[in-house]
Structure 1
Amino acid sequence: MKAHIELLLLLSLTTNCLLLQAQSFDFQFDHFAIVVADVDKSAEFYATVLNLEETPHPDRKPGFRWFIIDDNTQIHLIQKEFAPFEKNKSMHLALATQDLDGLIAHLKSKNVVFDDFAGNKNTIKHRSDGVDQIYIRDPDGYWIEINTVVH
């Protein structure tokens, strides 16, 4: 009986130590940064097509434009020289809205083409989980998914 109690105490101590090591850091998404060829051209897109509000860079450095996605999340545009690479649709920024129809009307008024993941123009993907989604590209060719996920 004493061996069973000692084993239970040892297991309890081991479990508690593992739980302490597996602590949560309570991460929150802060920002998404992308390198762009022309920061002003890209900023125009994020301001007028996505209607994001610009917030000043804390050091007011040239070549940086920051936009607010929500209260705690931003997208940072950084103008720098970089090696070109394929912008695959699987690598994308995803934004959620509950007014996808209004957004699509806005995109059409700006002559911005949207498509589904398969590449069908002006097509909304109706996922099996009830979420609708579309994809657009910014001036640098980065893919942006816009969906109706409820957070």
Structure 2
Amino acid sequence: MISHFDHIVLTVANIDKAVSFYETVLKMEPISFANGRKALRFGQQKINLQLLGQELRNHAMEGSGDLCLITNWTIDEVVTHLKACKVAILEGPVTKSGALGPIQSVYFNDPDNNLIEVSVYSEITE
């Protein structure tokens, strides 16, 4: 029935700060949609950003997100880039279980304390 994610929404305290972080640290493309709302596009997905209380149907608080993002970089390249961006790595590299098999992951927080996991599949799986 479900084939893939189209987008997710993260609740943040400061839209511009979140856009800057995801653009700089995770190399996502900032875009605007629907009367100036902000999002970050990567591949065929996007992350929509909302301020706390902006969407009354969503009761998420700042820092309640927990994302696993797959990269085509090596895990060493990811670690080097995060260190260059002065991002504190909370854990990793460590072996975890992804949707398609084993992954190597590093964990860190975004400016709103959402937990971000950047991962590399041990073997290329399509």
Same-fold call, TM > 0.5? yes
Q: Percent identity?
A: 27
**Aligned counterpart for 1:94 among listed residues 68, 74, 80:** 68
- The alpha carbon displacement at 1:56 in A equals 1.8
What is residue 94 of structure 2 aligned with on the other side?
125
Partner residue, 2:6: 30
Q: Report the counterpart of residue 78 of structure 2 in structure 1.
A: 103
Structure 1, unaligned runs of 5 or more: 1-23, 117-122
Q: Which has the higher contact order (CA 8 A, sep 6+)?
A: 2
Equivalent residue, structure 2, for 1:68: 41
User: TM-score under structure 2 normalisation?
Assistant: 0.77
- Name stretches of at least 5 consecutive residues in structure 2 with no aligned partner: none
Where is the strand percentage greater, Structure 1 or Structure 2? 2
Q: CA deviation at 1:84?
A: 8.3
Equivalent of 1:53, from 29, 35, 51? 29
The answer (yes or no) to whether the contact 1:112–1:136 under 8 Å persists in 2 is yes
Q: Runs of 4+ in structure 1 displaced over 6 angstroms? A: none
The structure with more radius of gyration = 1
TM-superposed deviation, 1:52: 0.4
Distance (whole Å) between structure 2 residues aligned to residue 144 and residue 29 of structure 1: 17
